Structure 1
Amino acid sequence: MSTFDEVTRHHDPGPDENPWVEGPPPPEPVEIVEYDPHWPQRYVALAADIRRVLGPNVLDLDHVGSTAVEGLAAKDIVDIDLTVADPRHEAAYVPALRELGYVHVVREPSFHEHRMLSLAEPRVNLHVWGPDCPEVIRHRMFRDWLRGNTDDRERYEHAKRAAVPGGGHVMDYNERKQDTIRAIYDRAFRAAGML
C-alpha cells in the first residue's frame, strides 16, 4: 500500500532516461477546447474495448485528466489509467492493445514503471501502471479535487490556457503549468490530512 509520503512526493522520471519507444513524436500545437459533455461517454466506449481485449489483465481502469472534470476546458485527448499486474511484462497487454490501434509511445522504468500508449482516433493517452501505484492515487485525487473545487478548476484552466502560447512539445506545455499543478496538489493533500 502506498504511503502518504509516496503519494505526496512529486516524482519525476530520471533525467537521463530516454522515454521514447520509437523516438520522440514531432511537436504538434497544443489546442485547448471547451469541455465536451461527450468525453465521459467516449471513455466508457474506450474502456469497454480495453477490457474486451485484455480481459483479466485489467486490474483497474479509470478516466483521469482534464477530460474527466466536468466544465474544464482541455486538450481533446482522453487520459486513461490502466493498472496491470506488472507494466514491465509488455507482452501481456501491448500486442492486444495494438489490435485496437494503440501505439506504444513511452517507457519510463524510473517513473513507477510507467508505460504510455496512444490512440490517434479518437485521441487517447493510455497510461499503464502497476498495482497500488502512487501516481494513480495522485491522478484520482487531482481529478476529484478539481471536480469539487471551482476556484482551483478555474485556476488550472487559466494556467493551461496561459501555457499554450509557448509552443514546443507537449512536455514543454506541461512544464509551464507545473507550478499551478503542484500548488493544487498541495491543497488537496492538506485537505486529506496527508501533509
Structure 2
Amino acid sequence: MGMHRQPRRADVTTVELIGGPERLEVGLRDDHERWAGTYREHRERIRNALTGADVAIEHIGSTSVPGLAAKPIVDIVVAVDDITAEEDYLDALLAAGYELRVREPGHRLVRTPARDVHVHVYGRGDPAVQEYILLRDRLRSDADDRALYESTKRDLLATRWDDMNDYADAKTEVIVAIKARARAARPPASM
C-alpha cells in the first residue's frame, strides 16, 4: 500500500455540509449488475482523474453486496496518501465532474450531480476504510446477516427521514453487531 506519510498540515476540525440537510426519498432496489458497472466506470474515472497518485479504490456499501436490496446510490471509498493535501486529489475530482458535499476531519465526500454515486475520500490507513470493507465482506459472505441488514433497512425506510444522516445513524446498532460477528468469525492473526 506504500508508505503512510505524515499529513502536510492540520486537517479541518469542523464538519462542513455543503448544501444543508437533504430528505431521503429513495426506496430500496436490487440492481446489482448495473451497480457493478457503475462502480467500474467511476473507478476508471477516479483513476484517470488521480493519475500518478497511489490510491486504493473499493466498492463499498449495500450496492457492493450481490443479493442485498439497496438505495440506488453507489458508494466508493478512495484512500489517498494525505487527506489534508486536497490539492493532490480534490481539484482533480471536481474537474472530473464530482461535487463536494462534505468536508470533515479525516473524510471528504464528493458525489455526482445526479447524487447516484458517492465517493468517500480518506487518508491511507484510516480505520474507517477497513470498517467499510469488513462490513461489505461479511454481508457478501453471510446470508443471515445480509437478511438482517436488509430487513432493518426496510423497517427504517418505512419512516420518513428529513435528514439522510439520521437514517444512517439509525442503522448503526445493527451494523456494529454485524461487524462484531465478522471479527469473531475471522481466524486469529498468526504472529
Q: TM-score of the superposition, structure 2-length normalised?
A: 0.85
Paired residues for 1:139-154 under 5 Å = 139-154=132-147
In structure 2, C-alpha distance between the alignment counterparts of 1:116 and 1:60, rounded to whole Å = 16
CA contact (8 A) 1:102 1:118 kept: yes
Paired residues for 1:40-189 under 5 Å = 40-109=36-105, 113-121=106-114, 123-166=116-159, 167-189=161-183
User: Mind listing any 5+ residue stretches in structure 1 that lack a counterpart?
Assistant: 2-16
Shift of 1:33: 1.4
In structure 2, C-alpha distance between the alignment counterparts of 1:171 and 1:25, rounded to whole Å = 8
CA contact (8 A) 1:83 1:128 kept: yes
CA contact (8 A) 1:82 1:128 kept: yes
Shift of 1:90: 1.1
Shift of 1:149: 0.3
- SS of 2:120's partner is strand
The one-letter code of the counterpart of 2:32 is D
Equivalent residue for 2:23?
27
How many positions carry a matched residue from both structures?
Answer: 176
The one-letter code of the counterpart of 2:151 is H
**1:190 pairs with 2:184:** yes
Root-mean-square deviation (CA), in Å? 1.9
- Superposed CA offset, 1:112-168 (max 9, x none): x11111113471110001111111111111101111100000100001111112222
- SS of 1:87's partner is coil
- Superposed CA offset, 1:74-108 (max 9, x none): 01111001011111111111111112221111112
CA contact (8 A) 2:21 2:164 kept: no
User: Mind listing any 5+ residue stretches in structure 2 that lack a counterpart?
Assistant: 2-12
Among all aligned residue pairs of Structure 1 and Structure 2, give the percentage whose two residues are the same amino acid.
Answer: 36
CA contact (8 A) 2:60 2:77 kept: yes
1:18 and 1:45, CA in 2 relative to 1: closer, same or farther beyond 3 A?
same
Q: TM-score of the superposition, structure 1-length normalised?
A: 0.83
Q: Which runs of 4+ in 1 moved over 6 A?
A: none
